[in-house]
């Protein structure tokens, strides 16, 4: 499956299918995590998990920034037949990721009470948020290092291995959720430990790749410079912006839902977040699959092949978006009931009202995500960041502040679809401005 010589459709799906399967497995595990928490621990616990997400988004934002920016640089170096430079950026990014994880652990534990207050937890859910966060903070070095390892394994030509690790991680997570939450009654402590153990298992499957004969990336600090990590961070800025913006937006939504509806509103938004996550996972998987392919082709100065890969990717996300819309329009109640027990009628009503207005977001977000991934792969981080920040923070924030003034609570529900609609056209404009032909011609 050589990105430069294989049939484009075969190569694309050779990268995309393992990534989709792996991400589907992870998303299924995340959703099932919510199912166990919502049904066995309660809607307050589900709200606590959702309140924790903005903090995790910020830490993971830094991690994705380095991992994606670094892997795109490595892919370009590999396309230029320079594995030593690719190995150097891999080694430095991994070291910085470990440092980031240790820093997050220390600062998170030191300022835990202040962080929980800033996350918007009231006295009823504060202990639950603390219970969940403490364990995840201890696992943070493993989480952030694992993100880097997964992206570099994929760019090193092993997408099937990366996808397999995701599937195994999901299977372990689901099994431990059942054991710790449903059978042993460990509550949020069990959910957090299930996540940490599952992620560690995935890393143990991926690390041996770098000691195998198939690896082109190896430990190498003898060439390159530490400033290359800054270049990787700059190139991955859009992914940082996307994660952090999503975290800030979730934080604002949590505040709004708490003020308007109380804990039931936050729990309802948690349900909607799980459904949104399930719906966009295809788009993120396809975007992640496009990045190593596009970066390899950019290194080889093959604009035509880049356009072929982009065309296949765009068609794919349009189809998956339509499927997501069909499910939400025809069976919203079934989706909501998966996460809630019979004692959560108020939360169910709010979530149903939300989804009835929210579903058009899936008509636009897949294309926007893929075009932002393209810009990152072509080493255009600022345009990519503009799309990511607009989609995840600026536009939702504007609409969340303005639409409720005219539409009441429906304006809250409409903020994200309206943001996706505007971001879609912004992404198309940026793709046309930074088309493959133009960027390859400039690169010489």
Q: What is the DSSP string of 381-443?
A: HHHHHHHHHIIIIIHHHHHHHHHHHHHTHHHHHHHHHHHHHHHHHHHHHHHHHT-HHHHHHHH
pLDDT of 30 above 70:
no
pTM confidence score = 0.69
**pLDDT tens figures, 142-163:** 988 888 898 899 888 888 888 8
Percent of the chain with pLDDT over 70: 95
- Closest by CA to 64, choosing from 247, 219, 217, 218, is 247
More confident residue, 189 or 55: 189
- The answer to whether 413 and 275 have CB atoms below 8 angstroms apart is no
| Measured distance CA(267)–CA(325) in Å, rounded | 22
User: How far is C-alpha 380 from the geometric centre of its chain's CA atoms?
Assistant: 20
pLDDT of 367 above 90:
yes
pLDDT of 88 above 70:
yes
- The answer to whether 89 and 74 have CB atoms below 8 angstroms apart is yes
Query: Among 4-13, 185-194, 266-275, which is the least confidently predicted range?
Result: 266-275
More confident residue, 19 or 184: 184
More confident residue, 201 or 280: 201
pLDDT of 99 above 70:
yes
Fill in the DSSP letter of residue 208.
G
Q: How high does pLDDT run on average in the chain? A: 85
pLDDT band of residue 420 (cuts 50, 70, 90) is: very high
Q: Give 8's Cβ-side CA count (13 Å radius).
A: 15
| Measured distance CA(152)–CA(159) in Å, rounded | 10
Query: Among 65-74, 78-87, 252-261, which is the least confidently predicted range?
Result: 252-261
């Amino acid at each position: 499956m050589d990105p430069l010589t294989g049939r484009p459709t075969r190569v694309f799906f050779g990268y995309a299918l393992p990534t989709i399967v792996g991400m589907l497995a992870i998303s299924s595990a995340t959703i099932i995590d919510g199912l166990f928490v919502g049904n066995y621990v309660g809607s307050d616990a589900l709200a606590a998990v959702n309140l924790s997400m903005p903090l995790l988004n910020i830490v993971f934002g830094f991690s994705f920034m380095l991992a994606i920016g670094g892997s795109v640089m490595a892919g370009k170096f590999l396309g230029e037949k320079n594995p030593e430079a690719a190995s150097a950026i891999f080694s430095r990014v991994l070291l910085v990721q470990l440092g980031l994880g240790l820093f997050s652990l220390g600062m998170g534990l030191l300022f835990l009470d202040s962080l929980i207050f800033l996350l918007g937890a009231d006295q009823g859910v504060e202990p639950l948020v603390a219970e969940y966060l403490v364990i995840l903070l201890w696992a943070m070095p493993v989480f952030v290092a694992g993100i880097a390892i997964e992206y570099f394994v994929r760019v090193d030509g092993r997408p099937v291995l990366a996808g397999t690790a995701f599937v195994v991680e999901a299977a372990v997570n689901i099994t431990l959720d059942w054991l710790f939450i449903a059978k042993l009654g460990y509550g949020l402590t069990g959910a957090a430990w299930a996540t940490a153990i599952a992620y560690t298992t995935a890393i143990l499957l991926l690390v041996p790749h770098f000691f195998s004969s198939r690896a082109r990336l190896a430990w190498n600090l003898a060439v390159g410079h530490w400033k290359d990590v800054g270049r990787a961070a700059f190139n991955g800025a859009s992914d940082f912006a996307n994660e952090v913006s999503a975290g800030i937006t979730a934080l604002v939504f949590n505040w709004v839902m708490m003020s308007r509806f109380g804990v039931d509103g936050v729990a309802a938004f948690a349900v909607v977040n799980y459904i949104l996550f399930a719906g966009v996972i295809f788009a993120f998987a396809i975007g992640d699959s496009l990045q190593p392919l596009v970066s390899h082709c950019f290194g080889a100065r093959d604009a035509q092949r880049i356009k072929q890969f982009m065309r296949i990717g765009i068609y794919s996300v349009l189809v998956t978006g339509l499927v997501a819309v069909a499910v939400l329009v025809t069976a919203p109640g079934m989706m909501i009931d998966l996460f809630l027990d019979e004692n959560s009628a108020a939360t169910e009503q709010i979530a149903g009202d939300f989804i009835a207005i929210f579903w058009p977001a899936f008509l636009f977000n897949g294309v926007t995500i893929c075009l932002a991934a393209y810009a990152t792969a072509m080493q255009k981080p600022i345009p990519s960041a503009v799309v990511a920040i607009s989609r995840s923070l600026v536009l939702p924030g504007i609409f969340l502040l303005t639409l409720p003034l005219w539409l009441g609570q429906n304006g809250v529900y409409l903020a994200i679809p309206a943001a996706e609609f505007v971001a879609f056209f912004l992404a198309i404009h940026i793709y046309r401005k930074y088309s493959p032909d133009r960027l390859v011609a400039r690169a010489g």
